[in-house]
Structure 1
Amino acid sequence: MGGIDVANGVVGAVLGMLFAVLFQQPLQNTWYRLQSRSTRAVRGLRQREESSPAWRTFSLGPLHTSALIVEGDGESAIPAESVYVQVLDQPIELPSDMAGWRAEIEAESTRLRTEGRTPLWNGPRYAVESFDVSRTALDEQPEVHLRLRPTDYYTFLAAQQLDRRLADGTSPRSRYLDPDDPLAAPAFLQCSFAINVAVVTADDMLVISQRSDRVRMAPGDWNSSVNEGMSRHIDSSGRSAPDLYAVARRGMREELSIEPLDYSIELLAFVLDIEKRHWSAHFYARLNDLNREDLQERMSRGVSDRWEHQTIDYVPFRPTTVVKYMLRPDRIHRWAPLAPALFHLSLVHVFSRAPVERARAQVIRNM
């Protein structure tokens, strides 16, 4: 009996090995295919059951911002002659239950001046009444229509308190803003229109600035090369509407000491920070001859608005390098909301979309 058991055991082992060789791998492959098909089927069911809004804010892998690209894809510049700006006469007025907030800011500025400290400068600004885009009949090029109304910095600071409670327990955000319609907002909550410029030196270095700790809005955040708010006093001669390119050139001169003959500049997009209701025109500027050292030396001889920046980084302007920089652990949570979209659009403008998307995917895979 013992010999028979041994023989049976050997035969069983041999048959088991043959079964494993002949059938195990095919069975595993079949199981894998069935599992993959069931997973895809479940995903397909889930995709058919879900819906998402057409308007989504800019994101780059784990980097999520409140910047909504309203017009422009980076690849094609928006011609200056396609932008129509109209300034309405009637200034902005805050609702009665928010007017006291502006009075508080004015009182704070008076107190600071009395104490011999730096008061809050109440500069004349513009509020965005409406922003509309149409297309030309023949070539479907964009035509941008921007309508502005007069306001000032105190009103802007009061309107920035979007989550402050009103007398009835609501807030300006809950009362006046619809999260499902991000472009709809009253003008008194949109008292900011700025120019943001991505500057690239002649030796292909992207200029990235860190906002000063002294500024009131987003202190210490990393931002565009140039960020300039539109001023009614400076950017409108007489009753004429402001020229967005002229505002960009003023920002280049005041923040980097760069003159118009030193660079070429193009308008890439209009972007809205839906969290703070800040509008921006995004520009890309390329320096003709000034390299990084030339720019640093130029700035050492004097900058009009030096106090706005506390640090400037120079990053090689290549898709992989810029994407890696934006996703650095010490940067990813310290960006001003509109800056990452600006740098992405600038990369797309220079290198086209496909290489930028490949670089993005590679960087995120390797994180």
Structure 2
Amino acid sequence: MSGIDLGNGVVGAILGVVFATLFQQWTQDIWFRIRRRSAGMVRSLTFRERQGVPWSTFSLGPLHTSALIVEGDGDRAIAPEAVHVQVLTDEIALPEDMAGWRAEIEAEESRAAASGERAAVWNGPRYAVESLEISRSALDEQSEVHLRLRPTDYYTFLAAQQLDRRLPDGSTPRTRYLDPEQPLSAPAFLQCSFGVNIAVVTSDHLLVVSRRSDRVRVGAGVWNSSVNEGLSRHIDSSGRNAPDLHAVARRGMREEMSLEPHEYTLSLLAFVLDVEKRQWSAHFYARLGDMTAEQLTARMSRGVADRWEHQGTEYVPFRSADVARYLLRPDRIHRWAPVAPALFHLALVHVHGRASVERAEAQAIRRL
């Protein structure tokens, strides 16, 4: 190599270092801005494409449910006096081409009872949901819930649950009467169910999880909330008074766990709609004052009024990470009642705070 070539090489190396030093940050900034602008354009295009998509139902990683949280985020409880329930007088009537389905159910239950094949399903008086409207109080913007109900019965409920059964014209109740882009709009005869679901936590910080009996007509064998109770016209409406949702929750605590009101605190967290089955629910959180899981098990072993509705109970540490892992267990993830995961999430948020809960849930999802 000649002296000239060596000199040129040294000069080139020096200039390279100088240019790298002077322009490296500048080129990195340019590249970062290009990437950020491109990502922003992609997000904006995606956002425009997704405009008009219906409200999303509750999900947790690979766990997807049909539970739509209509009101409440778990952070603040909904006050009892903020819930206004009105019962309309006209009873629900099924359309003519669905009325025969109810007649089929009634005839089958009568036949089963007469033959002694099995116990007939009791056609209990229930409520259908005419509408549920949300507003805010003027001063502190607290939730105000207006729930309007109509009388119905259990056989009508069972008939209306056949949302995908073919009608004479080839349509189904789901395709004829429901708009997926307006999940809160539905005729009352398709919404013949309103109940309460309660997440119960013992004094030693364990969440109670129940499994529904294989003998129930709806949701047999699935894992569910600690307590689940449907509104009954016969039991929950004293005289002409509309039902009180907190009173219904207390009835559920008594009938399914043999617990009395002085043994726990009760908070209403949310109103939730199972959009797949058109079943409404009020979600509650109950904290036992002095009763541990062991004591609760002993209490229930001495007799529970509605024991037949459940076939098992498990206890889970009421920590965000533990509950999230439990919800996502391979043997649970496809065996949940639709509203239970949302209920447990809201109860965690109510106690531990949203940021903490979502961090723990995200970590549980990453570890799958």
Q: Which position in structure 2 is the counterpart of 1:363?
A: 364
The CA distance in 2 between the partners of 1:234 and 1:103, in whole Å, is 25
Instruction: Give the Cα separation in 2 of the matches to 1:318 and 1:62.
Output: 20
Letter in 2 for 1:85: V
Per-residue CA shift, 1:122-163, capped at 9, x if unaligned?
Answer: 010000011111111111111111111100000000000001
Distance 2:133 2:45 in 1: 35
Distance 1:96 1:54, change over 3 A: closer
Corresponding residue pairs, total: 357
Go from structure 1 to structure 2 and tell me whether the alpha carbon gap of 1:37 and 1:131 turns closer, same or farther (over 3 Å shift): closer
**Deviations 1:21-53, CA, capped at 9 Å, x for gaps:** 978xx79x9698588457625533533532243
Query: What CA distance in whole angstroms lies between the structure 2 residues aligned with 1:189 and 1:195?
Result: 18
- What's the CA shift for 1:54? 6.0
2:98 corresponds to: 98
- Please state how far the C-alpha of 1:238 moved relative to its aligned partner: 1.1
| Corresponding position of 2:257 | 256
SS of corresponding position for 2:50: coil
Q: Deviations over 1:31-81 (max 9, x none)?
A: 985884576255335335322436211111111111111111101000001
Number of the residue aligned with 2:283: 282
Which amino acid in the other structure matches residue 286 of structure 1?
R
After TM superposition, list the pairs within 5 Å mapping 1:78-117 onto structure 2.
Answer: 78-116=78-116, 117=118
3-state secondary structure, aligned to 1:50: helix
TM-score by length of 1: 0.91
* Correspondence list, 1:1-367, <5 A: 36-37=35-36, 40-41=39-40, 43-52=42-51, 53=53, 55-116=55-116, 117-367=118-368
- When normalised by structure 2's length, the TM-score is 0.90
Q: Which amino acid aligns with 1:318?
A: R
Flag as ranges the 4+ runs of structure 1 deviating above 4 A.
29-39
Share of identical aligned residues, percent? 66
Look up the SS of the partner of 2:181 in the other structure: coil
Task: Give the whole-Å Cα distance in 2 for the aligned partners of 1:187 and 1:161.
Answer: 15
Q: Quickly say closer, same or farther: Cα 1:37–1:260, change in 2 above 3 A.
A: closer
| Gaps in structure 2 of 5+ consecutive residues | none
Give the secondary structure class of the aligned counterpart of 1:165: coil
Q: Give, as a single letter, the amino acid of the residue that structure 2 aligns with 1:333.
A: H
Cα root mean square deviation, aligned? 2.6
